[in-house]
Amino acid sequence: MQRRLSTFFKSLFGQVVIGLVLGIVVGVLYPKFGESMKPLGDGFIKLVKMIIPMIVFCVVVQGIYGAGELKKVGRVGLKALIYFEVVTAVALALGLLLAFVFHPGAGMNIDVGALDASSLTNYVDTANKVKGTGFADFVMKIIPNTVVSAFTSGDVLQVLLFSVIFGCALSLIGEKAAPIVSIVGSMSAAFFKCMSFIIKLAPLGVFGAIAFTVGKYGVGSLQQLGFLVALFYLSVIVFVFAILGTILRLTGFSIFKLIKYLREELMVVLATASSDAVLPQIMKKLEYMGIKNSTVGLVIPTGYSFNLDAFSIYLTLAAVFIAQATNTPLATTDLLAILAVALITSKGAHGVPGSAIVILAATLSAIPAIPVVGLVLVLSVDWFMGIARALGNLLGNCVATVVVAVWEKDIDRKRAHAVLNGDLAAIEEYDAQKRLENGVENGKPDSHLHLHTAH
């Protein structure tokens, strides 16, 4: 028992749990002090976002070059995008369905004229920029002004575009690109090491984020967030276990085992409401499962912008909630319009400040029947909904990576099952056998693998 406790306290998972509990205690007992801890959480997220663009660049470039033929890169990308669009459509439909089954906004009878829209000015202005005038504007937004601005803007789509172009160029150059690829590989190792330093601060970041939340909104905010928030959490749970669980089961894997394997990262996301904080660790863990790094390097970064499942549920659920709360009747054409617009606007969410409210505003502004000022109703609870959004989006992208890997036969099933089952003996035996098959005696696996054998 003592050994288990010692292992728990030394693990990142244990330290994050402790930070979570301490944050709640401080927020309850010393609310003002708890609110002052906000910079700890914000600082942690900023440190992570500082590294993300370079990690995405290195991983995507290595993935494309390592994939060999560009046909394979295109095939993996196409399959990923097809999967993203299908599952996103399902998520959007689920949000609409649950909103009409449970009527979360019914009976509120909100007078639109009485709502104070002053707090939404910045969100609506940004939403108009995001929405633009059509698909052409969306494409133009992806293209950076310069290579440098792609990395300074914080827009992962811009970094992704340049990374794909650069990776394809290196692949076509062939052996002459080997020195550059070697440099990119060394940079990747360096940035991942930087991230390993930053992630050690996760318990501190979690403490600051939770202490601020409880201090500002009260402990009741963790339990009684309103019917809309509860319904959204239910929607994400149904989506993860019923839809994603079924999809994963069809590939031969268990959603429960995957969640257990990723529990440390999910705890960090739960406390910070940001999946950016764990992107590098997630990629390493999926590779450790036996998925080829070329597939992980293409699917995960792309999914962060194109496969926001829980965010999609939020868009349709919140849109119908606002309509119900303001007694706005919706015709079938309005519902179809919500689905069509949300399918496009959800792709521009990542990298936009206050993305949830901004993209929701962009969606509603394209549906004249629903008053945009109704966003005021969901603004106060948006942070809490953000927790479930981040968790659902992250799990959705992990499942997508497994599905595409199975589709492409880029996953070692035997190793994946051993890792998800936490069978250390089987993993060590497997590694030893692979070293023998590759003619490597007394070989040593990559050092980062040792970080995850406990899972």
pLDDT for the residue numbered 439 = 61
pLDDT for the residue numbered 425 = 75
The model's pLDDT over 427-447, given as tens digits with 9 standing for 90+, comes to: 777 677 666 666 654 444 443
In a domain, 440, yes or no: no
The model's pLDDT over 43-52, given as tens digits with 9 standing for 90+, comes to: 877 787 787 7
Q: What is the mean pLDDT of residues 391-419?
A: 92
In a domain, 281, yes or no: yes
pLDDT for the residue numbered 51 = 78
* pLDDT surpassing 50 at residue 454: no
pLDDT for the residue numbered 416 = 92
* pLDDT surpassing 50 at residue 278: yes
In a domain, 333, yes or no: yes
- pLDDT confidence of 147, banded at 50, 70, 90? confident
- pLDDT confidence of 56, banded at 50, 70, 90? confident
CATH number at residue 79: 1.10.3860.10
Q: What is the mean pLDDT of residues 162-185?
A: 85
- The parent domain of residue 112 ranges over 2-421
In a domain, 454, yes or no: no
In a domain, 218, yes or no: yes
In a domain, 181, yes or no: yes
DSSP collapsed to 3 states, the chain: CHHHHHHHHHCHHHHHHHHHHHHHHHHHHCHHHHHCCHHHHHHHHHHHHHHHHHHHHHHHHHHHHHHCCHHHHHHHHHHHHHHHHHHHHHHHHHHHHHHHHHCCCCCCCCCHHHCCCHHHHHHHHHHHHHHCCCHHHHHHHHCCCCHHHHHHCCCHHHHHHHHHHHHHHHHHHHHHHHHHHHHHHHHHHHHHHHHHHHHCCHHHHHHHHHHHHHHHHCHHHHCCCCHHHHHHHHHHHHHHHHHHHHHHHHCCCCHHHHHHHCHHHHHHHHHHCCCHHHHHHHHHHHHHCCECHHHHHHHHHHHHHHCCHHHHHHHHHHHHHHHHHCCCCCCHHHHHHHHHHHHHHHHHCCCCCCHHHHHHHHHHHCCCCCCHHHHHHHHCCHHHHHHHHHHHHHHHHHHHHHHHHHHHCCECHHHHHHHHCCCHHHHHHHHHHHHHHCCCCCCCCCHHHHHCCCC
Counting the structural domains of the chain, the total is 1
Whether the pTM exceeds 0.75: the reply is no
The model's pLDDT over 208-221, given as tens digits with 9 standing for 90+, comes to: 877 876 787 665 54
In a domain, 293, yes or no: yes
pLDDT for the residue numbered 77 = 79
In a domain, 455, yes or no: no
